[in-house]
Structures are given as structure tokens and as C-alpha cells.
A = this chain, B = another copy of it.
Amino acid sequence: MTSPRPEWLAALAHLAVERTYDAGEAVFRLGAAARHVHFLAEGRVTLSRFGPRGEEVAIHAARAGEFFAEASLHSERYHCTAVVARPALVASIPSDELRALLRRDAEFAMQWLAIVSRQLRQARTRVERLCLKGARERVRHLLLTEGSGAAHRYTLHGSVKDLAVDLGLTHEALYRTLAAMERENLILREEGSLVLVRQPGFPGV
């Protein structure tokens, strides 16, 4: 998802500077001047902020094929820190050149707007999920909203631990919840994906 159409990725390609990053490296840090918007070609990057005592809080996990820090197009400084979780190939586009392109090319601007809008919807869906109280409800919500097809199959991107962070749970709680839900025949776990078992009286979304 969010895989950009090639025709206008090409429009950006000659503006971008590519670079590889090792795991643990920072692409940018909170407070730094936001001079680039980034595209993650390969690997994994997590956007996070840090609490007063240094607790890391993940606010977004960029996947290969996604832009990240798009919101920084309109702000002076980065509002979070981007750390590479798995060795990554990142294409960085200078903000001012991207701004110029957006102003010049209305069609491109519409597509860029579509990307940001989708991210907004995803973020709001995640807010909705985090407002649910129980771990089971969050898992159900995840499958209903992110699962593909009528069977609501959700393919794991990374480890279960990563998913736990995404759901705002500890990995222990998630493991237990998944085990319990499978025991009660609410979900199925198979080869890196979760499937929602259709419940009688629960119409799909």
C-alpha cells in the first residue's frame, strides 16, 4: 500500500539523493531543520519520540515503498526522530524542490495530497484502535480495519513484538491474547498472518 505510481516517482527521482543506512542509525532527529522529505525504498524505519525519561514511543513505522516525514514539508523542524530498524535505502528529496514541484504540477500535487490524506486516515484508525480498552478488542479491530479480503487476513509485517508496539501492548500481553483468542476459535494463526474467524451474529464491517 501507498506504493507510489511509477510515473511520478520518476518525477521525483532526479530530485532525490539516495543513501543506505545501517540499523540503529538516525535519518533525522527531533528538532533538526526539516530540509528533506524521505522515501523508504527498502528496509524499515520507525518514527518515534522520547518521553521525559527517555522512553521511546513509536508513532509510525514506515514500510518499504512509503514516504515518511511528509508532514515536515510544512514545518521548519522535524517533530520526531527517525531511526532505522533494519538496514534501509532511503531517497531524500529536498523540501524546497518538492514544494516547487507541487506548485508547478497540479496533477502531482493532487497525488501527493492523496498520499497525505491516506496517512491521515490510517493515523485516525490507529487512534480509534488505541482507544479500545481490551487487548482482544484491539486485535479484532486490527483485523477488521487492516485485514484484507472478506476473511480479514492480516499479514504480519515483522515480528509479533513489533505488532505489540503498534497495538500499544507489551509483547507478553499480545502473545497471551493471541493464544487465548485462538483457543476460543476467534482467530486463526497461520504462517505469518492472522485470520478473523467469522462469528455468528457479527456482521462484517
Residues of chain A whose beta carbon lies under 8 Å from any beta carbon of chain B = 47, 49, 51-52, 57-60, 70-71, 73-75, 79-80, 99, 102-104, 106-107, 109-110, 112-114, 116-121, 123-128, 130-132, 137, 140-141, 165, 168, 202
Contacts and interface: CB of A to CB of B under 8 A. Distances in A.
B168 A131 contact: yes
By Cβ-Cβ distance, the 6 closest A-B pairs, closest first, are: A123-B123, A130-B130, A71-B117, A59-B128, A74-B114, A103-B106
A130 B38 CA distance: 26
A58 B127 CA distance: 9
A131 to B, nearest CB: 5
A126 to B, nearest CB: 5
Given A103-B106, A113-B116, 6 more contacts: A74-B113, A99-B110, A102-B106, A106-B106, A112-B113, A126-B127
A120 B116 contact: yes
Interface-central residue, A70, A119, A128, by most chain B CB under 10 Å: A128
A113 B37 CA distance: 14
Contacts of A130: 127, 130-131, 168
Given A59-B128, A60-B124, A130-B168, A73 B113 contact: yes
A51 to B, nearest CB: 7
A113 B120 contact: no
A119 B121 contact: no
Interface-central residue, A59, A70, A114, A165, by most chain B CB under 10 Å: A59
Contact of A119 (B51, B120, B141): B120
A103 B110 contact: yes
B102 A113 contact: yes
